[in-house]
A and B are shown apart, each in its own frame.
Chain A
Amino acid sequence: MSKAKLAVIVIFVIAVLTAPSAQGKVPLTRDPAFHAIAWEHQGRIKLAIANTSPERQEFSVGFGYYLLGQRILEETAIQVPGQTILVTTHPMVWSDAETGYRTADMVFLRTRDGESAASAQIIGLHPATEHYRVDRFIVSAGQDAVMYIETPDPELGVDTTVYLSIGRNFNLGNYKGRVMVDKVYEGGLKRASDPPFGKGERPQDFHNYSYSWRGLRITAPTPKRFEGVQQLEFVIEEFVSTPEGTARHGLSAPPILVYGSDIILMEQ
């Protein structure tokens, strides 16, 4: 056997022996090709679906809620062109079934073949989204993503202390950036000098306060060089300390979508 033949066989054997073996870990099924976020806006629901694949995608979009399973109250079909974030507007959906009146606070996305693709809490309606506000839910690369986190919960007792810890870095896909906490609001109600009274009303006849965010203004400067769509992620840990002890859990960061110059933002 020639040396060259031997080399081929040896290389082949090495290739087989060193090939990656299957691991026991279950892979994620989340499709990185698209993202979905939904929020309440002036009594209606805005839904943004980002499709970063080059092909047009069709989704079945169900508006509903979760109670011992998915409850879909209304369903519609939406086609999203390739490399596009499509923002659509929908009416609010309610249920007046026997189990009681209930507003749809979730969106469930399925692909054409009926496979569950994603779900999104409707921001402003879902109870887990009440602790934040944002300037914009969709931000183009290079812009600042600005968010406001509220603390403490006004319903907590006087003997309760709430601590928030904000992660110093944010992730945008593989990009890591620094989170800046710009401002700490003093909290509670503060005096307002120019309340928006109607004609004929006298502000001086009232004690006037405005409700300010009792928390933090957070800015995440996004990179200019960026392609595709990614959801901004950073960690918020909340500690709720009472005389009985301290509970802790994470708080969801606002789901802001950041898109690059290769993506078209389209509103219908």
Chain B
Amino acid sequence: MRNRRWALLAVLLVIMVAMSGCFGGRRATGGVRGVVYAPAEDSNLYKAGGKLLVKDLVFSPSDGYERLPGAVVRVEGTRISGTTDYRGHFQLTGIRVGTQTLTVSHELYKPVSIRVTILQDTIVSIPGNTLRLHGRGFYLLIGVGDFDYTAWKSYGFGETDLEKMEAPKNDVSFLRNVLEYDNALVKGDIITLIDGQATYKEVRASLESLVSAMEQDDYLVIYFSGHGASRAADFDYDAIALADRPVTDTELREWVREDLFAENCLDINDVTLILDTCYSGSFADGVETWYDDVFSQKAFRKPGYTVLASSRNDQESSYYNTHPQLSVFTDYLIYALETGRGDLDGDGLFTAQELYTYVGSETWQATNGKQNVYLWPSGSRNVIATYPSDY
């Protein structure tokens, strides 16, 4: 009788666990992807009994190899397996985190095994070929959600007109962590300006100091989270709100100091502005703006510049009203960089186009289609960061 009671209790527990979705439930898993190559049939390698090769999606092996469709890739000790597609590509997910052995087999070739390190919630590329860029990354990260209302008064905005926000400082703080620790790009410098630090004067000086330190092939990324306004949304000019006053798209572009690039014999070919503000697409919409006698034709709509904006020039951007507050666009941007999901082609680089595709889609869904990410120019290969840092 007593044993029966225990057995009944055991059955009840099994049912409870199964219903809660916990049974066999979340464990730390990740994925891996790569390309399988085989010696080409007419090559000397084939005649010499050459082996299968497993590579990442970027680096091709030397001549004499071709991509192999129909090869079976198996994770040893599990039931996880897949077959390469017509391009020789494979991708396996749900693999337990840690070092795992992959075995690749095909009826015409001897099986080969390689070891890979699986990372949580991440699809890693086959290691062995690290894409090293020559350039260094220079970052200016600005988040303003608290303001000097005395200074702003002269621009017609009082305490009740300029809404305080917590999200910008959190955005910058989390983004800095990712760029510092999950970014394989050699860091030139990262400057962070939050709330009261982000004055008109300080932003300008910081930008100038970064540009002065740059050399050929370096990357400059300017990120801003906070309030924005645009002519398309009935404001007098396209601008972002710094701690003490607005700065227009024209002014900010001029602060990049193209003359310093010229002095140092540098090409402006990898300057990226990432904005998470309302109406941020206005910084590259080609609409003429002016303010304080500064007149512009195109602001950031120029060759060499890329703008990745959280919304169009006529749309608001949003943040999660949770603790800690984070802006929706930046939240997905951080997630894309941290997990590698924004590296869509698996080449280890996060380009502006890839981030547009990934972050744009997620942001659109999260905001019920109200926030459309903006990219200038379409297809931009500007590098924001590289991934992963372990290889």
Contacts and interface: CB of A to CB of B under 8 A. Distances in A.
A15 B13 contact: yes
Contacts of B368: 30, 231, 233, 255
B378 interface: yes
B285 A247 contact: yes
What bracket does the count of chain B residues touching chain A fall in?
35 or more
Interface in A2-27: 2, 4-5, 7-8, 11-12, 14-15, 18-21, 25-27
Contact of A247 (B321, B370, B377): B377
Contacts, number: 149
Main secondary structure of the interface of A (DSSP, over half): mixed
Interface string A53-85: 000000000000111111000000000000000
Given A8-B9, A8-B10, A70-B163, A29 B320 contact: yes
Given A2-B6, A121-B370, A99 B314 contact: no
A239 B374 CA distance: 10
B24 A18 contact: yes
Interface string B30-64: 00000000000000000000000000000000000
Contact of A248 (B21, B364, B366, B375): B375
Most buried by A among B241, B331, B365, B368: B368
A198 interface: no
A158 interface: no
Interface string B139-166: 0000000000000000011000111000
B22 interface: yes
Contacts of A102: 234
A245 B322 contact: no
Main secondary structure of the interface of B (DSSP, over half): loop
B187 interface: no
B316 interface: yes
Contacts of A128: 312, 314-315
Interface string A115-133: 1100101000011100000
Contacts of A239: 378
Given A128-B315, A235-B364, A250-B364, A20 B233 contact: no
Contacts of A18: 22-27
B86 interface: no
Given A25-B335, A231-B368, A252-B372, A11 B241 contact: no
Given A8-B6, A28-B366, A127-B232, A19 B373 contact: no
A63 B265 CA distance: 54
A221 B126 CA distance: 44
Interface in B1-35: 3, 6-7, 9-10, 13-14, 16-17, 20-27
A239 B366 CA distance: 22
Most buried by B among A5, A102, A116, A253: A5
Interface string B191-232: 000000000000000000000000000000000000101001
A166 to B, nearest CB: 13
B77 interface: no
Nearest to B370: A252
A199 interface: no
Contacts of B241: 68
Interface in B337-378: 356, 360-361, 364-366, 368-370, 372-378
Nearest to B22: A19
B366 A250 contact: no
B298 interface: yes
B383 to A, nearest CB: 18
A251 B370 CA distance: 9
Contacts of A247: 284-286, 301, 374-378
A11 B301 CA distance: 62
Contacts of A255: 368-369
Contacts of A251: 372
Interface residues of A, number: 52
A252 B376 contact: no
Contacts of B3: 2, 4
A244 B299 CA distance: 13
B168 interface: no
A138 to B, nearest CB: 16
Nearest to B23: A18
A249 interface: yes
Interface string B280-319: 0100111000000000001001110000000010111000
B21 A28 contact: no
B321 A248 contact: no
B370 A249 contact: no
B376 A8 contact: no
A107 to B, nearest CB: 13
Interface in B223-280: 227, 229, 232-235, 241, 278
Given A28-B320, A29-B321, A233-B369, A249 B281 contact: yes
B301 A27 contact: no
B379 interface: yes
Contact of B229 (A29, A67, A233): A67
Interface of B: 3, 6-7, 9-10, 13-14, 16-17, 20-27, 156-157, 161-163, 227, 229, 232-235, 241, 278, 281, 284-286, 298, 301-303, 312, 314-316, 320-322, 324, 326, 331, 335, 356, 360-361, 364-366, 368-370, 372-379
Interface of A: 2, 4-5, 7-8, 11-12, 14-15, 18-21, 25-30, 65-70, 98-99, 102, 106, 115-116, 119, 121, 126-128, 231, 233, 235, 239, 242, 244-253, 255
Given A4-B7, A231-B369, 17 more contacts: A11-B14, A20-B26, A25-B335, A67-B229, A67-B235, A68-B162, A69-B161, A102-B234, A106-B316, A242-B286, A244-B286, A246-B379, A247-B284, A249-B375, A251-B372, A252-B372, A253-B369
Give 6 nearest A-B pairs by CB, closest first. Answer: A69-B163, A250-B372, A4-B6, A245-B377, A127-B314, A248-B378
